[in-house]
Amino acid sequence: MIALEYLLLIGLIVCAVAANFTRNLLPTILIYATFGTMLSVIWLLLKAPDLAITEAAVGVGIDTILFLLAIRSMRHFVGTGDEK
């Protein structure tokens, strides 16, 4: 159990660091969604099923949709939508 906890926690940190160093925006969003999924499992481990459901619906679902929409709208224009 502790091994799973460590795996998830280290996964969270790796995701958060990696999101800062991606070159394109789409991987950032995927990393964000992964982060949310892992967090949702952690809520289950911490005996908070309400949070797990809400995180899965809001943090993974709605947030990801918003991010995707935002980069889609950015691609209508000149420039790549990539960083810098």
Partner 1 sequence: MDINAILQMLHANRFEAASVILFVVGLGGMLFNRSLFKKVVSMGFMDSAIFLFLTSAGYVEGRLAPIIADPAVTATMEVYSHPLPAGLVLTGIVVSVSFTAFGLALTQRLYKKYHSLNIDEIMMQAQKSED
Partner 2 sequence: MKTPVWYQKLLRWTEGDSPVLPEPAAHREQTREPAAEESAYESGPGLLSASAGRVRNVLLRVITIASCAVFLLIMLATVAYLPRFGDADNAPENETSRRYIEQGMQEVGATNLVTNIILVYRGFDTYGESCVLFLGATAVIMLLAVDAKNTTEEDRRVLARSDALDRENRNQILGHITTILMPVILLYGLYILCNGHLSPGGGFAGGSILGGALILCENGYGVGKVHSFFGHRIYHVVKVGALILYAVLICYTIYVGANGLPNVIPLGKPGSILSAGIILPINVAVGLEVACTMYAFYTYFGRGDL
Question: Footprint of partner 2 on this chain (CB under 8 A)?
Answer: 48-50, 52-54, 57-58, 61-62, 65-66, 69-70, 72-73, 76
DSSP string for 9-74: HHHHHHHHHHHHH-SSHHHHHHHHHHHHHHHHHHHHHTT-HHHHHHIIIIIIIIHHHHHHHHHHHH
Residues 8-37 that bind partner 1 (CB under 8 A): 9-10, 12-13, 15-17, 19-20, 25, 28-29, 32, 35-36
Contact 35, 70 (CB under 8 A): no
Both structure tokens of 3: 């091994």
Helix, strand or coil, per DSSP, at residue 62:
helix
Q: At residue 28, what is the residue type?
A: T
Q: Considering CB distances under 5 to 8 angstroms, the limit depending on partner class, which of partner 2, partner 1, none binds residue 30?
A: none
Q: Which does 78 bind (CB under 5 to 8 A by kind): partner 2, partner 1, none?
A: partner 1
Residues near partner 1 (CB under 8 A): 5-6, 9-10, 12-13, 15-17, 19-20, 25, 28-29, 32, 35-36, 39, 42-43, 46-51, 54-55, 58-59, 62-63, 66-67, 70-71, 73-74, 77-79, 81, 83-84
